[in-house]
Amino acid sequence: MFTEDNMLAINSNKNLHYITEHKRAFEIEYLYPLEIFETFADQTKNWGLECSCKINQSQLYPTRFNLFRKRPTFGNYHAAFNFLRSMEAQLNLKFDYQLLQQFIGNDLDFSKVIEIIVGVDLRSGLEDSKLKFCYVIQDYPEKLEIAADMAHAAQEWPILLGSKITTIGFDFHFNGRSEIEIYPIIGQDKLQQIDVQMKLAEFLSPQALRLLDNCRALDVGCSQANPEKILYYRTLDPHNFIAELHNELANRVHAYYREQPVIETIVGLRETEIIAGKIENLNLYYQMSISSN
C-alpha cells in the first residue's frame, strides 16, 4: 500500500529518472554543478521537471533542466534560494543579485506569484554556464511595468505587456554577470480573439503568425542582452512542428523525445530565422512531470 510519503518519493525519483535518461540519451559527461542540481531535484517534492536542449547552428547543448513549483510556499522559496547559495558556496562563485533585488523591492505580493522556476544551463566550461530563477506572475501590472523597464522593453513591446501571465526570469552567469528577461504569455483564449490577432499582425511577421496554427499558446522573450524577438511556441503537434523546421539536430533530439511520455513541448525560435526560412538556432523544452500540491 502506498503512503503519502511513498508517493512523494516516487514523484521525486521520477524527476531524477528523467534527468538520468536525458543524460544517457545525449551522452552528457559528469559535471559537478549538475550533481548539485540533481541533489536539489532529489530533495524537492511535488516540483515539475522540464528537460531542454539548445541548438546553436551545429552545436548541441543538452545540459539544461528546469524544476518548477506551482503556487509556491515560503518553504519552496527557501529551498530555491538555498540551492542558489549552495551552488555559489560549493563552486566558489559570486552571483550578482542586484537585478533580482531591484525587482522584488520591499513590496512583492507573493499571492500574485503563481509559479517559480529554478533551472541550470551548463557547459563544460564553467564560465559559460548559468543558473536561472523565475517568477511567473498573474494580474500584476505594477511588477510587470517594473520588469519591462528593467529589461528595456516598455516602449518596444506595448502590446504584450498587457499579458495576464508573464514569466520574469533572472540569469545568474557563473562569470558573475546577471540579466533579466521577460516572457509575456499569450494563451489560446487570447489567440482566438480578433482584436488580439489584429495587434499581433502588427507586431509579428506573417511567417511567425502562421506557426501559431499548431500552438496552444505563445511566449515572447525579451531580454537586456538580446534585442531580437525570441518566440516560444507551445505546440499542439510537436512532431509535425519540429519536422517542418528542417533542422537535423532538432530532429535528432525529438527522435528521442517522441518516444517518451512528454506532457508538453515548447520550441523557441528567432523571428529573423523564421522569416528567412532557415532555422539554425533554437531551444527545445520537454515537460516530463507536473507540479502538484
Please list the rounded mean pLDDT of every run of 10 residues in the chain (293 residues). 40 86 97 97 94 97 98 97 97 97 96 98 94 96 89 64 85 96 90 86 92 94 81 98 98 97 98 97 97 77
The structure's pTM equals: 0.93
* Tally of domains within the chain: 1
In a domain, 125, yes or no: yes
In a domain, 54, yes or no: yes
Q: What is the structure's pLDDT at 189?
A: 86
In a domain, 292, yes or no: no
In a domain, 293, yes or no: no
Domain hosting 260: range is 4-287
Q: What is the structure's pLDDT at 255?
A: 98
In a domain, 163, yes or no: yes
Q: What is the structure's pLDDT at 162?
A: 61
In a domain, 186, yes or no: yes
Q: What is the structure's pLDDT at 129?
A: 98
Q: What is the structure's pLDDT at 6?
A: 41
Half-sphere exposure of 140 (CA within 13 A, CB side): 24
Q: What is the structure's pLDDT at 161?
A: 53
In a domain, 199, yes or no: yes
Q: What is the structure's pLDDT at 154?
A: 58
In a domain, 259, yes or no: yes
